[in-house]
Amino acid sequence: MATETLTLGKALNTGLRRALEHDQKVVIMGEDVGKLGGVFRITDGLQKDFGDQRVIDTPLAESGIIGTAVGLAIRGFRPVCEIQFDGFVYPAYDQIVSQVAKMHYRSQGKVRIPMVIRIPYGGGIGAVEHHSESPEAYFAHTAGLKVVTCANPQDAYWMIQQAIASDDPIVFLEPKRRYWEKGLVELDGPLAEAYPLHSARVARAGTDATLLAYGPMVRTCLDAATAAAEDGRELEVVDLRTLSPLDLTAAYESVRRTGRCVVVHEAPGNLGLGAEIAARITEECFYSLESPVLRVTGFDTPYPASRVEEEYLPDLDRVLDAVDRAFRW
């Protein structure tokens, strides 16, 4: 089985390349995705190899990008749209929630919208305003959209191909601070079947408490579990991978064994994904819980200036403090 060590960004690039090779109806479109290769170089080299009719530099108009992609999808193409930064998606929000999410339902199933909206999201890169937000709850709340996020190069490579092959519209969230982290990637074989697109996975086994996370916070939780193990506490880490539909089967099984659960995400806590996850865990695992489900999140403020973003973002110490609180009940 062919394997290669890739950064998460390069794994996405390789996955996009495979999708373009596999299906002539796949087109990539967005601001600076062609000659520049994207601001994070995720589409680097693709326009050179596949031409400017399949890797398309668009005007600076997110609503136009998504609206055009809707028309392409209706005509049988599989557009992959890049939103340059998370905070730039809002001009396209009307198109996404009013057209992309509703067209299949509105047409009584006659029209499908097989498109992917790639959004680099989250903080930790020292960026300026509107470049470090976590808008996942807006999209996960919208019926008709599917929302997924990768956390490592292996998932990045397979999940982007699975998303493009899907007949449903998918918001594909990419944790931008993890673009440069490396990992071993299996480039072929049965892994795509072993980890279907809309399924969670256990990233680290443990017995004492469960950490539920997705995207950029999976690495933070794995680091917290490593630190906790030095004190004799074994934490299980579950990477949710899919935010809509939520797959909590692995989470339920884990919490029933460990009895304690901490949910971690970068987005503000108020009405964030953590609230929904905590509610479902409580409903399904009530008699197994030794303490309430706790949340570690960003604060309920606009994303701060880069010089203080480390005070805002959940880190290893905040995660371990929540675990300690779970054991004090």
In eight-state DSSP terms, residue 111 is: -
Q: Are both 132 and 242 inside the same structural domain? A: no
What confidence tens digit (pLDDT) does each residue in 42-75 have? Answer: 999 999 999 999 999 999 999 999 999 999 999 9
Rounded CA-CA distance 203/155 in Å is 12
CA nearest 313: which of 125, 73, 179, 86? 125
Which residues of the chain, if any, have pLDDT below 50? none
Tell me, what CATH number does 115's domain have?
3.40.50.970
pLDDT at 190: 74
Total domain count for the chain?
2
pLDDT at 191: 72
Rg (CA), the chain: 19
Tell me which of 164, 194, 224 is where a domain ends.
194
Q: Are both 170 and 279 inside the same structural domain? A: no
CA nearest 276: which of 96, 140, 121, 119? 140
Q: What is the pTM of this model?
A: 0.97
Q: Are both 207 and 322 inside the same structural domain? A: yes
pLDDT at 195: 85
Q: Are both 44 and 160 inside the same structural domain? A: yes
Report the amino acid identity of residue 328. R
Q: Are both 55 and 170 inside the same structural domain? A: yes
Sequence-ordered strand ranges (E) for the chain: 3-7, 26-30, 55-57, 78-82, 116-121, 146-149, 170-175, 182-186, 201-204, 209-213, 235-239, 242-244, 261-268, 294-298
pLDDT at 33: 98
Domain that holds residue 162: 3-194
Catalytic residue annotation: 131
Q: Are both 109 and 236 inside the same structural domain? A: no
What confidence tens digit (pLDDT) does each residue in 97-122 have? Answer: 999 999 999 999 999 999 999 999 99
- The percentage of residues in the chain with a pLDDT greater than 90, rounded to a whole number, is 97
| Contact partners, residue 109, CB within 8 Å, separation at least 6 | none
